[in-house]
Structure 1
Amino acid sequence: MFKLAKNGNILMDVASASPPSAAFVVEALERSPYADCAIDHESIAAYFKQDTPAAQLIVGQQKDAHIEVALSEDKMQAIARLTTAQGGKMISLEDAKRAIVKVGVTRGYKQVYLENLLKQQLESPPGSEVTGIVAQGRPPENGTPAKLMPHVQTLKERLKQPKLREDGTVDMRDFGALASVAPGTLLVTQRPATPGKEGFTVTGDSIAPKPGDSFQLMAGEGTEISPTNPLQLVSTIAGCPSDIPNGMRVDDIFTIADVNVRSGHIEFSGSVLVTRNVDPGMKIKAHGDITVMGTVESGELISDGNIEVRGGVIGHLDHSNDDQGLTCRLIAKGDVQITHGQYTYLEGQNVFIQKQSNHCDIKARNLLQVGLDESPKGKLIGGTIFDAKMLVAGEVGSSSGATMAIYLARSGMEITERTDLCLKELSQTDEQINNLQKAVEKADHVKDAEKKKTLLAKIGATQQHYCKQAEALEHQLSELDHTLHDLLDNTQLVVNTSLHSGVEIHIFDKVYKTTRSYPPCSARLIEGKIEIEFKM
């Protein structure tokens, strides 16, 4: 009934007997040896519409399998689309390989990918399309950043490990012997950054990895870089090690139970540990860290390192001063960490308040956080935030609507002032360069050749000086602009519980005053305007 033509068409002999219907033809073809071939429904339908039917009817066509290979947009994958055969030849492994090479694949090819795809010719229905990855590029592996590997216990780590009593309870005021080191002790080793591992596309292009961030190992006071290994830091004196950015220092430690009228004010070149309290009116000044295990009441603590107070920090308004300042002050070049504060001035790189701040004036050069954990829930009530880059708290303001002011990115004002000064200097430099150019033009008219040569050399040297100055100013302007944008992009107020009315939020030179209470939200500068974004 059916036969295969040389061109691949499947023919039905209808000269002797005309088939009764198109359905009959399709059913007969599906039961024949040519059942896998593509059915030509249009040809069959046209046959039954003709007034004078032809002697032969094209009912189908034998089609070979077909494969197309395309590259992903980033050239990290080669993806093959295989159309299975319909009564025709299957794609061989070698033919498929040639199709892959034809599109430019040189790396990342694995034969097992292709074999799994070609296997579908036996498992999928005739004429179906299947796709699969036949080559896979490798993304670059970025390098790991440099890291400090400490070999000694610092004072900060020691204070996290109170002494265990015989009855199993913990003595929160006894931390055992001070962590001390002898001269020549290995303090820390720098694990160098790694360059990463190069990646590649399926077309053979290399993809450079991002090297890990590196930093210079810093030798603080009482330490030095090892003369035998530039990645190691060793102590030069006996004392207690403390962390500093990218390194360590070794301090002498002064330990005292209470700072009161009996002890007098404390001023020490190393670190100070107060195992109990600091009484009203007392002062501590240290080049190292200051740690108070008890409370500080109307005292003043000034540190070139970090300040930590395990108890409360309590002051009051100093009515003896015209500005009604606060009687308790904690100022650190490093971080300030307290449990709770009241009527206290706090200043540090980062300021951490575990529970609550009542009417405190705070200046944090980077982060102010009120509360613990990843989503702090501490309360920030009253007072003034003079400057911070990021403020995170649970509750900000009070339900009574009492006013308080929060100034974020205040340092941006200083950046704009420096930018204005830099622009003024650049303008003056450009004016000098223009005047020198006029001087060159005048010098060209000097008839005395020797005098002209001397004059042009002098002008040229001055021009070079001002050109270098202009280049330096332009570089400085670019850095200031980048610093300002980075500051504003990363400045944010995050409130995890509620933001009350009466809070004045200043971000750079913009102001937003809350007139109602808000649920958990954040405030940041977007296109020159302070926007409040609510958390989902």
Structure 2
Amino acid sequence: MLHPGLIELSQDQQKAELKIIPNTHGPISEQDLQQLLTLPDFACLFPLQAQITQAVIQVNQLNHQPDGDIELFFEIADRRDAAISFEVSSDKMQASMQLTAAYGGKSIDIRDILQNLKLQRISMGLSKVKIDNLLTELATLAPGKSCAGVIASGRAAINGIAAKLERKVSLARERLLQPQSNSDGTVDMRNLGAMIMVKPGSLLIEKTPATPGTDGYNVHGEKLTAKPGKDLKLTAGSGTELNPKNPNQLIATVAGQPVENKTGMQVDDVLQIKNVDVGYGNVDFKGSILITGDVCEGMVVKSTGDITVMGFVDSAALHAKGDITVSKGVIGRQLKDLSLSTTLVAQGQISAQFVQYSRLQAQANILITKQLLHSHSQTQQQLIVSDSSGRRGDLVGGKAEANKGIQAVAIGATADTKTEVFCAMELSELKLQLKQLDQSIKSMVVAMLNIEAQLRKLPPKEQWQADAMMVEQVTVMLDEKRRMATIRAQEELEHDALKLEVDNYYKNYCVHALKHVYSNVEIHIGNVFQRTQREHGPCHIHNKNQEIYFNYSN
């Protein structure tokens, strides 16, 4: 080892100085100099590797040379203060701090950290405990060693919860699914119980209001605005009112049959008829209609509410702005022009036990509990051909179209009856709506930025607050900005919901066979098509990567 006297601290005590005569002390190696730096006064200093390498080269070059008797001087180490650095995540929701122990220089205390946090604009979500822990760990580290950890976390905005409308009364259509039990435990499908009626003051719907959400922040203290929950209108239809003591409750004001609509409910007068036949004539009634018997051939029944038929519908036409419920069967036949003799059109749901050779068109679900045969059914929602137990429900022949999926116990027949099913056919329309919403939101952002730019160009308020015209212009701009912000928030909620639907479209909307899919069933899902060549067991049928895919797992 080289003599310890060759190295000493500089006059300011900040550097390690090497004074060496090549012919006397050389040749030397970098290891020799590193050993000198392990001496007590120098072990805490930072080795200057480039200087050490240069010293070794020069000393060894001059060793045994005429100039080798001249003393050389090198600074091979110095003191360095502890270091502090920060890293902020790309989303600004986390900040990490790294502390590096000093090489004989000044250490770091809480004041240094607070000063550096201020310079980095890290001000929110700080954890004093985590900072103290890192300072404690720093004190135990060897020179140049580091410790690091997350010392600040933002708080994500919590979006509001959407409003919810909870119906508190049953509807006529639900009676089809709740036949009365006999004393021996059997079920009487002919006895569906008493007609659903309400009295004045009955609670029909209760609304749970949307919540505004909770704003968040990032580690820089920037506000993260929460999106409010989507609101739902609760409007009073005829025969109803909002409870004067609670505007979130819809109550009946008259006795009658409750009928659901998109934004609430109405209570209809009920016209009760035994049979609709040639003797009674066609029916067009403002309210709900209860037919305790049958609707006979050639008859037309129209209602602004629900139509409930306790018997059969035979080669007739029913049109309802509410639901259509047929307790027994819907019977039709194919005419010479290939049209069907029975038509049911509802803005609500269509429910029946048995349907054949009929055209069904509904905005809400179509529910058939036993058989749907050789008919043309079309719904904006789901087509379900199944009883409540999932044991019986045959979809055979004809054409079935349901935007949001088809479920049946069995689809097709052992006789290879041609059966066409269509679902999930509106993806392109939904994508167009999504694009239009996106463009609308972007145009609103630009318009709001323009208003903000105009407001920033205004002179100080004291220069124009006495000018009535100027005050009015500013007020108009602020009102317009608030109006657009409200519309933008609503459209962003619609955009998010629609994007979620588009992203999961084919996953959510499919054909579900509980027991069988027979051969010669034409399956259309989106723009792909396949005709079955054999019988399939229980399965979900999806559009997967633009191919018909049979999923047999539960």
Give TM-score scaled by structure 1 length.
Answer: 0.63
Aligned length, in residue pairs: 449
Q: Residue 217 of structure 1 aligns to which amino acid in structure 2?
A: L
Within the candidate set 57, 61, 64, 1:51 is matched to 61
Q: Does 1:146 align with 2:160?
A: no
Match of 2:543 among 510, 514, 522: 522
Residue in 1 aligned with 2:115?
A: 98
Out of 251, 259, 279, the residue aligned to residue 234 of structure 1 is: 251
Letter in 1 for 2:119: K
Q: Which residue of 2 aligns with 1:363?
A: 378
Q: Which residue of the other structure, out of 241, 265, 268, is the alignment partner of 1:248?
A: 265
In structure 2, distance between residues paired with 1:391 and 1:252: 34
Q: Is 2:348 the partner of 1:331?
A: no
Change (3 A) 1:29 1:91: same
Deviation at 1:248, TM superposition (A): 1.6
Q: 1:212 and 1:410 mapped to 2: Cα distance?
A: 25
**Which letter does structure 2 place at the counterpart of 1:350?**
A
Partner amino acid for 1:51? Q
**Aligned counterpart, 1:65:** 82
User: Take 2:286 and 2:220, find their aligned partners in 1: how far apart are those partners?
Assistant: 63
Indicate the residue corresponding to 2:205 in structure 1. 188
Cα 1:160–1:21 change in 2 (3 A) is farther
Aligned-partner Cα distance in 2 for 1:73–1:27? 44
Contact 1:358 1:382 (8 Å CA) reproduced: yes
Structure 1's 409 and 140: CA in aligned 2 closer, same or farther, altered over 3 A? Answer: closer
| Unmatched tracts of structure 1, length 5 or more | 416-478, 525-530
Whether the aligned pair in 2 keeps the contact of 1:345 and 1:362 (CA below 8 Å) is yes
Gapped regions of structure 2 (runs ≥ 5): 64-70, 433-490
Q: For 1:121, which of 133, 138, 152 is the aligned residue?
A: 138
Cα distance between partner residues in 2 of 1:515 and 1:354: 24
Change (3 A) 1:331 1:60: same
> Once the two structures are aligned, what percentage of the paired residues are identical?
29
Aligned in 2, Cα 1:85/1:242: closer, same or farther, shift over 3 Å? Answer: farther
5 Å-filtered alignment, 1:164-179, equals: 177-179=194-196
Moved more, 32-41 or 105-114: 32-41
Q: For the residues of structure 2 that align with 1:84 and 1:409, how far apart are their CA atoms?
A: 63
1:306 to 300, 323, 337: 323
CA distance in 2, matches of 1:190, 1:301: 32
User: In the TM superposition, what is the alpha-carbon distance from 1:27 to its structure 2 partner?
Assistant: 6.5
Q: What one-letter code is carried by the residue in structure 2 that aligns with 1:289?
A: D
Give 2:116's aligned amino acid.
A
Task: Output aligned runs, 1:252-267, within 5 Å.
Answer: 252=269
CA-CA distance at 1:238 after TM superposition: 1.2
What does 1:394-433 align with in structure 2 at a 5 Å threshold?
402=418, 404=420, 406=422, 408=425
- Structure 2 CA distance for partners of 1:177 and 1:103, relative to 1, 3 Å: same
Q: How does 1:250-289 map to 2 (within 5 A)?
A: 250-252=267-269, 270-271=287-288, 281=297, 286-289=303-306
Kindly tell me: are residues 344 and 161 of structure 1, through their superposed partners in 2, closer, same or farther at Cα, counting changes over 3 Å? closer
Deviation at 1:98, TM superposition (A): 0.8
- Alpha-carbon distance in 1 for matches of 2:38, 2:281: 104
Distance 1:63 1:499 in 2: 82
Is contact 1:500–1:514 with CA below 8 Å preserved after alignment?
A: no
Contact 2:289 2:306 in 1 (8 A): yes
Stretch of structure 1 that moved more, 227-236 or 27-36: 27-36
What corresponds to 1:89 in structure 2? 106
Other structure's SS at 1:249 match = strand
User: How far did residue 212 of structure 1 move?
Assistant: 2.2
Deviation at 1:223, TM superposition (A): 1.2
What are the Cα deviations for residues 187-232 of structure 1, in whole angstroms up to 9, with x where unaligned? 3343333333333333333333222222332222321234555443
Equivalent residue for 2:361? Answer: 347
Q: Determine whether 1:494 maps to 2:515.
A: no
Equivalence map 1:462-481=2 (5 Å): none
